[in-house]
Structure 1
Amino acid sequence: MIQPGLKGIIATETSISHVDGEKGQLIYRGYNASYLAEHYSFEEVAFLLWEGYIPNEQELNSLKRKMSGYRTIPTYIEKILLTLPHDMDLMSVLRTVVSSLSSPTFYLREPKEQAIQITAMLPTVIGYRKNQLEDTSMPEIPEEVDFVDYYLRVLTGRKPNNYHKKALETYFILTMDHGLNASTFAARVTTSTESDLVSAVTSAIGTMKGPLHGGAPTGVIQLLDDVMEDGNTDDVIRTKLKNGEKLMGFGHRVYRTIDPRAEVLKHRLKQLAGKDAWLDLAINVEQKAIQLLNEWKPGRRLYTNVEFYAAAIMKAIDMEPAYFTPTFTASRVVGWTAHCLEQSMNNTIFRPQSKYIGPPVQV
C-alpha cells in the first residue's frame, strides 16, 4: 500500500521526543515538554536533548561557556555574508553560512561539540545579517548572557525585558523538537548516508524553508493587526468567518485535542498579563475566536495551535516577519542535531521504494 508522504509510516526508533496527537502530549526524553518549559532554561533542555539527561550545575555552566565562546563567527563567514545579495532571504543566508562551516578545523571537533557550535552561532548570523541590511553595528553584548537573552539583544540592539525573554524562551523550548517532522527527517536521511553534521543541518534548513513546514504565521499576525486596528474582536472574527476566510492559528494536523505547546504559551502569557499589549490582545482574541468558531461549526472542536501564540510573541518583541522562520530554526537546530547524533549511533540508510506509474516499456 502506498502512503503518500510516508504519512503514518514508522521509519525509525528514537528516544528523543514523542508526539501523542490523541492525548495532546509532547515528550522530550521522558519529560513533558510543558513541564520543561515551566521549570528549565533553554540551555538545560538543549543539554537534555543532546545528552539524554538534565545537566547538573557544573555541566550547565560548561555548556553555557562553550555556547558563549562559539557565538563569534569566523572572519571568512563575515566575508561570505558581505558578498551575499541584499535581497537574498534569511533562510537562504542561514543555509549558505551553515554549509560553509565545512572546514578541517570544524571537523576536528567531536560531533556533539559541532552541534553546540552550530546552535550557538545561528543567532549571531541572524543578528549580523540584520545589522548588515540596516547598515548598523552589532551591539556590544556581555559574554555571560544566556542564549535567549543574547538572541533578543542581537535582534533589538538592547537589553530585553524579563517578560519578553521569558515568553521567547518558553517558545524556544517548546519548538526544539517535534518528532519526525519534515526537516528532522531530512537531517536523519542525510546522516544515514554517513554524511557530516553540517550537511545534515543544511538539508534541514532547506526543508524548513518551505512554507508548508516552517512558514511564518503571517495569517495570525494579520488577524491580530486587524483586531488591534478595529478595536472590536467580535466584529473582526465574525466578518472573516462570513467571508469564508480561514482563521489561522487554530487546528493542527497532528493534535486532535489541545496543542500542549499552545497551552503552555497561553499560561505563560497569562502570567505576563498587563506587561505587553500584544500579549494581552492574543489572550482575548483566542477566547473569542474559539467561542465563535465553535458556534460557526457546532460539533467540530477547534483548538489553538502553537503558531497563534508564537505570532503574539513575535509581535510583542517587534520582530519583522522575515525573522519568524529563522527564529524557529534557531530553536529547532537543537532537535535536528540531537537526531543526527542518535542516527549515527545505530545507523541504517534510509532507502524507501517508489511505485513506477510512467509509460510502459516501448522497446
Structure 2
Amino acid sequence: MTLHSKTPAGLDGVIAAATALSHVDGERGELVIAGHRLGELAQSASFEAVTARLWSLAKGEEIGPERVKVDLGIARERAFETLPRLLAASEGLPVVSGFRAAVAALGPVEGLPDEAAIVGAMPVIAAALARRAAGLSPVAPDPSLGHAADTLRMLRGEAPAEAEAKALDAYLVTVCDHGMNASTFAARVVASTNADLFMAVTAGYCALTGPLHGGAPEPVLAMLDAIGSRENIAGWIDAALSRGERLMGFGHRIYRVRDPRADVLRKAVGLLGGRGVDLGFAAEVEAYGRDALAKAKPDRPLDTNVEFYTAILLDALRIPRAAFTPVFATGRAAGWTAHAREQQRTGRLLRPASLYTGVVPG
C-alpha cells in the first residue's frame, strides 16, 4: 500500500514564515524591501542605508546607516587580519568553492555584531580569492570608504571612479534581499535551530551556488560571447531553442512579468559609459530572446531576469567572472543575516511535514 495526495511542487504557495523584510509580487513585477519599492531604494539609498533598515526590522531596534558603515569598515579590517587563516581553509579550491570554505571559517569578532562581521568579511574574502587566482596579492581594505567602493578597490587594486562605485552600490542594494528565495529559506531553516548566524549564512551561500538560483550570471556572458555579433542573434537563439536549451538570463520562478531588478541594473550599467559588453548588442539579444521565447513557449512567461544585466554590469566593472557568485553573496548577506535574526526573534523551529510516497508495511 502507498500513501499519496496532492502537495504543492517545490512548496509553491506554502507560507513558511512571516517577515517584514521584503516582498515579491510576481504578477505585478514588484519587489519591496524594508517597506520601499526597489526602484526608489536603488536611486536614493546606499547599501549601508538599506542594510541598516533590514537589520533594524529584524532585530526590533533602530540601527542607523552611519553605524553600519563604521561597523562594516571595522569588519573588513578584522577580516583582512585573519586572511591567512581564511585562505588556508580555501587552499586548492576554485573561487566559488573557496569562498564557501572561507565563509564557513568565519567567527565572532569582538565588539561587532555577528551580522556586521559576516557582511564586512565577504568582500575581503571575495577579492582575496579572485586576486589569488590571478596570481596577485590581497589588497588591504580602507574603512573610510563605502562598502561598494572598497569592494571594487580590493578586487582591482585601485580606487574606482565615482560612477563605478555608484553602479556597484546600486547592484548590492538590488540583490540584498528577495523574499523567501532558496538561499534565504536555507538560512532561516538553519537559524531556526538556534544555530549561529555564521552557520546560517554558510547554508545560504551553499544554496546560492546552485545554477537554478544565483549561478546564472556567468553563463549569460558565455551566451553573449557565443552569439558574438548582431547578425548571429536570430540564428543562434533559434537554434538553441530548437535544441531545447535554456536561454540564460530569461525566466524566473516567481515573476510572471519582467523582473524589476533587470531595469534597475540596466540603469546602473548606463552609468558606466558603455564599458564591457556592447549594451546595444545586449539589448538586441534581450529583445530577440524575449520574442523568441514568447513564440516558443506562449503558455510560460519567460521575461528578462536579474542575471542578464547582473552579468553585463559586473563585466563592465571588470570583476572576474569567477567572482560573480561571491560578489552576489556580498550583497545578499545583508538579507540572509536579517532573515536569520528575524527568524530567531519571532519564529520557531522550521520543521515542515513531508508526503510519504513509499510502501506502508501491512
TM-score range with shorter-chain normalisation?
0.7 to 0.9
Match for 1:253: what amino acid? R
Gaps of 5+ in 2: 1-5
- The range that moved more, 228-237 or 36-45, is 228-237
| Superposed CA offset, 1:189-245 (max 9, x none) | 111111211111122122222222221324321222134456654444344445554
Give the match for residue 186 of structure 2: 186
Give the direction of change, closer, same or farther, for the CA distance of 1:272–1:84 in structure 2 (3 Å limit).
closer
Give the match for residue 37 of structure 1: 42
Give the direction of change, closer, same or farther, for the CA distance of 1:161–1:292 in structure 2 (3 Å limit).
farther
Select the residue among 6, 9, 28 that pairs with 2:11: 6
Given the alignment of the two structures, is residue 51 of structure 1 paired with residue 56 of structure 2, yes or no?
Answer: yes
Q: 1:300-311 alignment to 2 at 5 Å?
A: 302-311=302-311
Does the Cα contact within 8 Å between 1:294 and 1:301 map onto a contact in 2?
yes
Q: 1:288-327 alignment to 2 at 5 Å?
A: 288-294=288-294, 302-327=302-327
Give the match for residue 17 of structure 1: 22
Give secondary structure in 1 for the equivalent of 2:176: coil
Tell me the distance in 1 between the aligned counterparts of 2:273 and 2:286.
14
TM-score under structure 1 length normalisation: 0.86
Match for 1:255: what amino acid? Y
CA drift at 1:19: 0.4
Give the direction of change, closer, same or farther, for the CA distance of 1:271–1:325 in structure 2 (3 Å limit).
closer
Give the match for residue 91 of structure 2: 85
Give the direction of change, closer, same or farther, for the CA distance of 1:74–1:222 in structure 2 (3 Å limit).
closer
Given the alignment of the two structures, is residue 67 of structure 1 paired with residue 60 of structure 2, yes or no?
Answer: no
Q: 1:146-161 alignment to 2 at 5 Å?
A: 146-161=146-161
| Superposed CA offset, 1:108-161 (max 9, x none) | 657xx2101110111111112223333322235543221111111222222223
Aligned length: 352
Q: 1:254-273 alignment to 2 at 5 Å?
A: 254-270=254-270, 272=272
Q: 1:206-285 alignment to 2 at 5 Å?
A: 206-229=206-229, 232-270=232-270, 272=272, 274=274, 277-285=277-285
Q: 1:156-175 alignment to 2 at 5 Å?
A: 156-175=156-175
State the identity as a percent.
37
Does the Cα contact within 8 Å between 1:273 and 1:279 map onto a contact in 2?
no
Match for 1:41: what amino acid? S
Give the match for residue 33 of structure 2: 28
- The range that moved more, 175-184 or 273-282, is 273-282
CA drift at 1:47: 1.0
Give the direction of change, closer, same or farther, for the CA distance of 1:83–1:334 in structure 2 (3 Å limit).
closer
Give the match for residue 101 of structure 2: 96
Give secondary structure in 1 for the equivalent of 2:64: helix
Give the direction of change, closer, same or farther, for the CA distance of 1:243–1:181 in structure 2 (3 Å limit).
closer
Does the Cα contact within 8 Å between 1:249 and 1:304 map onto a contact in 2?
yes
Tell me the distance in 2 between the aligned counterparts of 1:356 and 1:177.
33
Give the direction of change, closer, same or farther, for the CA distance of 1:138–1:84 in structure 2 (3 Å limit).
closer
Does the Cα contact within 8 Å between 1:192 and 1:344 map onto a contact in 2?
yes
Does the Cα contact within 8 Å between 2:216 and 2:248 map onto a contact in 1?
no
Give secondary structure in 1 for the equivalent of 2:354: coil
CA drift at 1:302: 3.8
Give the direction of change, closer, same or farther, for the CA distance of 1:349–1:299 in structure 2 (3 Å limit).
closer
Give secondary structure in 2 for the equivalent of 1:19: strand
Tell me the distance in 1 between the aligned counterparts of 2:220 and 2:30.
23
Give secondary structure in 2 for the equivalent of 1:70: helix
CA drift at 1:272: 4.8
CA drift at 1:312: 0.9
Tell me the distance in 1 between the aligned counterparts of 2:7 and 2:245.
33
| Superposed CA offset, 1:21-60 (max 9, x none) | 011110012100121011111111111111149xxxx933
Tell me the distance in 1 between the aligned counterparts of 2:275 and 2:208.
32
Give the direction of change, closer, same or farther, for the CA distance of 1:74–1:218 in structure 2 (3 Å limit).
closer
Does the Cα contact within 8 Å between 1:91 and 1:205 map onto a contact in 2?
no
